[in-house]
Amino acid sequence: MKILAVDTATESCGVALSEGEHLIGEITNRRKQTHSRHVLGMIDALLRMCGMGAGDVEAYAVSAGPGSFTGLRIGISTVKGMVLASGKDMVGISVPDVLAAQVFPGSCPVCVLPVCVLTDARKGEVYTARYRYESGMLKKISGEQVLAPEEALSGIEGDCLFVGRGAELYRSRIEGKLGKHARFAPPECNIIRASVLARLAWQRLRKGERDNAAAFGPRYIRKSDAELGFGKK
């Protein structure tokens, strides 16, 4: 099954094409411009690079959040448009799930440690979720939350591997609280990889799991500024 994966959830924009669990091609862009200026061109360039057309895509994957409100809307609306036009399947994947999977055993020397994902939620906060490995499999042990960086570290005892843009932004504060127990993934692991998004989507698709494109929406976790201000005088 050929899967086109699209990620626009954070400051990076990525697209990947895979066949099952095998990557065919991938493009990542970190230019500081709205993803709406790049994502369709990147999809077109990727398909041409791989010698394929839109008709060859059999399923779609998209990063579901949490992340940038605008970025999520761009990626999800793009994928939903293609899915509704083609009638193909789609799945949405959690951003922390993708980042945690990027430090899967074999790709990182400290990947046997518990994993704490921290992505930038702005306003001095992070989106966070925690994971651990059991019998070589990644298991989510806490749901996604938006917290101050210090609150996100609550309850961590012993060595822990941090991954995500939030881990980069707040590294000194993490080290200040956890000292030598704080371990950090390589910088390249902090950028969402659409290829990993595609791999996780394949794992869901082969189990028969699908998302309803018409009803699918972003996982924001917290309210937007407009919602927070609604009703205030």
| Dist CA 62 CA 144 (whole Å) | 17
Helix (H, G, I), strand (E, B) or coil at 151: helix
Comparing CA positions, the residue from 94, 97, 103, 119 lying closest to residue 186 is 103
What separation in angstroms does the CA of 178 have from each of 106, 134, 149, 161, 181? 25, 24, 12, 11, 5
Cβ burial of 100 (10 Å; 0-12, 13-18, 19+) is buried
Cα dihedral 35→40→45→51 (10° resolution): 140
Tell me: the pLDDT tens digits for 186-219? 999 999 999 999 999 999 999 999 999 999 999 9
Per-domain boundaries in the chain: 2-94+193-229, 103-190
Mean pLDDT of 58-79: 97
pTM higher than 0.85: yes
Q: For residue 40, give the nearest of 161, 48, 32 by alpha carbon.
A: 48
**Tokens 């060595």 sit on residue:** 159
Angle, CA of 65, 134 and 194, to the nearest 5°:
30
Name every residue whose Cβ is closer than 8 Å to that of residue 53 and which is 6 or more positions away in sequence.
47
At residue 134 the predicted structure's pLDDT band, cuts being 50, 70 and 90, is confident
Same fold, 2-94+193-229 and 103-190: yes
CATH of 103-190, one of 3.30.420.40, 3.40.50.10470, 3.40.50.300, 3.40.470.10: 3.30.420.40
- Among 68, 119, 75, 83, residue whose Cα is nearest residue 3: 83
pLDDT tens figures, 146-159: 999 999 999 999 99
- Structural class in CATH, domain 2-94+193-229: alpha beta
